[in-house]
Amino acid sequence: MENLLHVFRNTPLGRETLMQSIHFCRTLDIGLDIYIPDALSFMMYFDDEAVQIDLDRSYLYEPDTAVEHARSLAKAAGVIPRFINPKYRTARDLPDIPTYFQFMCCPRSISDLSSKIGLGYIGPKVRRIMQSAPFPVLMTAQVFKAWNSIMVLFGGSESACNALEFGLQIAERTGLPLDLFTQLEQEEFYYYEQIHDAGLEKTLSERVRHWHQFETGVFAENLYHVPHDALVLSGAYHHGLFKQMLFGSKLETVQTTLTNPMLVSGPRSMASLTVH
């Protein structure tokens, strides 16, 4: 069974974040693995890179009630979580967290207190996870809200095709409607050509409810047409190049405009959901 990794912080903000992971897992019928930190850092070893994740101190609040709170939230939604107890440590205060997951949940930053988190701010540790991980990252909204459709931001790049493939798989798994959003910067045939070359043409014609295409207007203003209760999918890099400080101007605009939860694919993440 596919599963999602969630690093739990036992605070009101952490509660909202966990509720979004629970909803994601329940909707996709996948497992939920929860790690409750006992140190301010942990290691994740990917194929080509070791990433140290540094947490803020709120992740260590009230450890005596953390498991009970997390289990209670999951139970209310009919989800049975598995709690990760790291077997290995790079150092005494540096546990090693496995990386065999299909998804990982991250708030927009995992190294700053909630009072510092701005809507458009993506922390450097989250960027590094996206850059190295073979799975996409679920970036949560500030508060939990159930999503009832899927919206793929499609710009025609390799990254966008990867996000589209994830969107198609999620739509097939859940039965939820799938829409596309494109700010036309090329001739219309270009986008269909990219979809054809990615082998997604037939599935797309069967699954997509509506393709929003905008020839005019400001991109940020056109994002108003993204449903408020949609899970938004996007690639984290532009034309195959991952930018260390920016994900490309379009995704930065999305971050500062939308309040939706987002599933973001990095350069190494591959769509791999099976159909139940």
Is 20 within a domain? yes
Is 159 within a domain? yes
The residue among 94, 239, 84 whose CA lies nearest residue 157 is: 239
Is 275 within a domain? no
**Listed residues 104, 138, 172: the one ending a domain:** 138
Is 143 within a domain? no
- Give the global pTM: 0.89
**One domain for residues 121 and 185:** no
Q: What is the pLDDT of residues 163-205, one digit of tens each?
A: 999 999 999 999 999 999 999 988 888 999 999 999 999 998 9
Is 198 within a domain? yes
Amino acid at 34: I
**One domain for residues 122 and 170:** no
Q: What is the pLDDT of residues 45-102, one digit of tens each?
A: 998 888 888 888 889 999 999 999 999 999 999 999 999 999 989 988 899 999 999 9
**One domain for residues 10 and 115:** yes
**One domain for residues 65 and 155:** no
**One domain for residues 128 and 165:** no
Mean pLDDT over each residue of the chain, to the nearest integer = 86
**One domain for residues 194 and 124:** no
Is 144 within a domain? no
The residue among 46, 247, 217 whose CA lies nearest residue 139 is: 247
Residue with tokens 């927009």: 108
**Listed residues 138, 159, 182: the one ending a domain:** 138
CA distance 132 to 141: 23
114 has pLDDT over 50: no
CA distance 184 to 190: 10
**One domain for residues 121 and 159:** no
**One domain for residues 174 and 231:** yes
CATH number for position 53 = 3.40.50
**One domain for residues 40 and 129:** yes
Is 121 within a domain? yes
pLDDT of residue 115: 43
Q: Which residues of 148-180 are buried (b: 16+ CB within 10 A; e: fewer)?
A: ebbbbbbbbbbbbbbbbbbbbbbbbbbebbbbb
106 has pLDDT over 90: no
CATH number for position 187 = 3.40.50.620
CA distance 33 to 61: 19
CA distance 36 to 92: 16
CB atoms within 10 A of CB 62: 12
Q: Are 42 and 94 in contact (CB under 8 A)?
A: yes
Q: What's the chain's length in residues?
A: 276
* Range of the structural domain that residue 34 is part of: 3-138
**One domain for residues 247 and 164:** yes
Residue with tokens 């009072």: 115
3-state secondary structure at position 38: coil
pLDDT of residue 238: 47
**One domain for residues 115 and 206:** no
**One domain for residues 186 and 216:** yes
**Listed residues 97, 114, 138: the one ending a domain:** 138
Report the domain count for the chain.
2
Is 273 within a domain? no
